[in-house]
Amino acid sequence: MLHTLSIGELGKSLKSGQISSVELTRHFLSRIERLNPALNALTTLTAEQALAQAAAADARIAAGVQGPLLGIPLIHKDIFCTDGVRTSCGSRMLDNFIAPYDATVVARLKAAGAVMLGKANMDEFAMGSSNETSFYGPVRNPWDTAKVPGGSSGGSAAATAARLAPFATGTDTGGSIRQPAALTGVTGLKPTYGRVSRYGMIAFASSLDQAGVFAHSAADAALVLQVMAGFDPKDSTSVDTPVPDYPAALDGALDGLKIGLLREFFEGLEARNSALIHDALKIYRSLGATTVEVSLPHLPLSVPTYYVVAPAECSSNLSRFDGVRFGHRCENPADLMDLYKRSRGEGFGAEVKRRIMTGTYVLSAGYFDAYYLKAQKVRRLITDDFRAAFAQVDLLIGPTTPTPAFAIGAKIDDPVTMYLNDIYTIGANLAGLPGVSLPCGFVEGLPMGLQLIGPHFSEAKLLNAAHRFQESTDWHRRAPRGYD
Amino acid sequence: MSLTRQDVEKIAHLARLSITEQEMPVYVTSLSSIVNFVDELSRVQTDNVEPMAHPLDGQHQRLRADVVSESDHHEKYQANAPAVQAGLYVVPRVIE
């Protein structure tokens, strides 16, 4: 079945002429038409443009052009600006916004010949861990449609898990790629901060945001990261460091690889969840890795630190939405203040307003030192803990989430309970580290993920360790019933 | 540490957000619980710790040559504007 093939296998079929990109695109478009209504994973479908892009890819293939993503369909999280196509960020504020340019991530994948099927639904302005805050309604988990897919990249995760596209882009600020990947049984990679350009990626928290990928395997993710990664002069935080050959590094032996078990991650973890990680460690040991326990004593402070830093940065970033130049404007504003307040009050949902106000508070006169400056200091303590750990080990391992997917509506009324879902993922964002979540088993019929975190710019090693695990297991090949 | 209704009204004003009468108590409760939650940071020993604004050490704001590299696309960029006149954004009167 076309939707169960890897990107590598699809590429071979396209190159040999066995299938065309137009046929492949039609296959996924018809799956979207049939299967997406139950999931609500997409905000915008771009069927006509997709078929045009597919036809162009077929012409390039016929002319002898080669490329691993040439003619391969994808879905972009609706946080990436896509020229001429609505870019809503899951918000009423941008419901009418047609992006006038392509984000660098979009432009690079387009240049590589990937075919955009549409835009993925997401938590509003990337704020959420369940995809329940979207203006366009919640996304449902294909493994159990009464459950959340995770967030904020819930649409990208659900679409990948449901095989509506071979891969999807996402963003990860506090876990928004890794957590939904774990809850939907797919592979999700967050690169090092600065590895992938943020140009054209609507900003939530500028020192934390990073673009990444959802795919069915580390091997597929490596092909996509190869195209996405690299210095971009248009992003002032883009790092000018060479991009290694990720696919070439996948098959490396793991002999001598030192994996650290994060003690703080296992404290309080339910036995059946930690059992899955311990099973994974047995596999890693059989592949030649050694494991040792490490402690990051400040790691439990990650969540409160993040919920000062991220809201502060978001309050600043979202000040651009003022009803003046783009986005929602209220009707009949009485004066400028009324224009600002009502446009923003109407345009933003409750979680976004909560975070803007939290950020405004911690940055305000009299509170800046106690909250924001303090959080920046704790951020350094957490980052130093990671640095000390990486002096002893090559990679860190732990669960991605404390539990499998929870029911839609179960946590949305209590922000702090929702925030604690990110307990295992947030540390990597604060320290700017790369992390990958891979499927590692099931609890009560729902997928669980294991997370690998590496030092800065260690994506090749992470993908190598993930790939070798996936050669010894088949969790990543499982598909939800009805989507297989 | 609980926030009062006046605290939330002041914050909402600074953030230029209109909050309705019905919404107000919900925000007072949820913002108070968030502030309580992050208050844990006040108990952390951070003397002599440098604040960290950026996750990668040694990164500086890049400069570039002072040459023109973009062209005028204002019509394209203003296509999303709620109200435009003569290339200018129209807003309610600011100066009395």
Spell out the domain ranges in chain B.
Answer: 5-40
Give the strand pairing for A42-45 and A258-262. Answer: unpaired
Q: What is the pLDDT of residues A166-213, one digit of tens each?
A: 999 999 999 999 999 999 999 999 999 999 999 999 999 999 999 999
Chain B neighbors of A345, CB-CB under 8 A: 17-20
> For position A118, what pLDDT does the model report?
98
* Cβ distance of B18 and A381 shorter than 8 Å: no
A119 pLDDT above the threshold of 90 = yes
Q: Which tokens is A108 given?
A: 């690079």
Average pLDDT rounded to a whole number, residues B32-47: 93
The residues of A annotated as belonging to the active site are 77, 152, 176
Q: What is the pLDDT of residues A318-351, one digit of tens each?
A: 999 999 999 999 999 999 999 999 999 999 999 9
Q: Which tokens is A217 given?
A: 């395997």
Q: Between A and B, how many CB-CB pairs are < 8 A?
A: 168
Interface test with A, best of B7, B21, B42, B52 (most A CBs within 10 A): B52
How many angstroms separate the CA of residue A94 from the nearest CA in chain B?
Answer: 10
* Cβ distance of A431 and B79 shorter than 8 Å: no
> For position B96, what pLDDT does the model report?
67
Q: What is the pLDDT of residues A142-165, one digit of tens each?
A: 999 999 999 999 999 999 999 999
* ipTM given for this complex: 0.95
> For position A264, what pLDDT does the model report?
84
- What are residue A197's phi and psi, to 5 degrees? -65, 140
- CATH 3.90.1300.10 assigned to domain A2-257+392-477? The reply is yes
Q: What is the pLDDT of residues A18-48, one digit of tens each?
A: 999 999 999 999 999 999 999 999 999 999 9
Average pLDDT rounded to a whole number, residues A248-254: 96
Confidence tier at B66 by pLDDT (50, 70, 90): very high
Residue of chain B whose Cα is closest to the Cα of A355: B31
Rounded to whole angstroms, how far apart are CA atoms A357 and A366?
A: 15
Residue of chain A whose Cα is closest to the Cα of B47: A377
More confident residue, B53 or A355: A355
Chain A neighbors of B42, CB-CB under 8 A: 370, 374
Domain locations along chain A:
2-257+392-477
> For position A220, what pLDDT does the model report?
98
How many angstroms separate the CA of residue B54 from the nearest CA in chain A?
Answer: 6
How many angstroms separate the CA of residue B86 from the nearest CA in chain A?
Answer: 14
Q: Which CATH topology does B5-40 take?
A: Histone, subunit A (1.10.20)
Cβ distance B42 to A392 under 8 Å?
no
Q: Which tokens is A147 given?
A: 């459950």
Residue of chain B whose Cα is closest to the Cα of A418: B34
Residue of chain B whose Cα is closest to the Cα of A373: B51
B1 pLDDT above the threshold of 90 = no
Chain B neighbors of A334, CB-CB under 8 A: 92
Between B17, B30, B93, which is nearest A344 by CB?
Answer: B17
A286 in the Ramachandran plot: left (φ > 0), alpha (ψ -120 to 50) or beta?
A: alpha
* Cβ distance of A340 and B16 shorter than 8 Å: yes
Average pLDDT rounded to a whole number, residues A214-222: 98
A274 pLDDT above the threshold of 70 = yes
Mean pLDDT (chain A) is 96
Give the strand pairing for A167-171 and A211-215. Answer: antiparallel
Mean pLDDT (chain B) is 92
Q: What is the pLDDT of residues A384-443, one digit of tens each?
A: 999 999 999 999 999 999 899 999 999 877 777 777 778 899 999 999 999 999 999 999
User: Residue A380 pairs with which residues in a beta bridge?
Assistant: none
Average pLDDT rounded to a whole number, residues B12-35: 95
Average pLDDT rounded to a whole number, residues B42-65: 90
A377 pLDDT above the threshold of 80 = yes
> For position A9, what pLDDT does the model report?
97
Chain A neighbors of B52, CB-CB under 8 A: 376-377, 379-380, 383
Selection from A426, A350, A382, A414 nearest residue A179 by Cα? A426
Q: Which residues contact A77 (CB under 8 A, 6 or more apart)?
A: A119, A120, A122, A153, A155, A156, A168, A169, A170, A171
Q: Which residues contact B71 (CB under 8 A, 6 or more apart)?
A: none
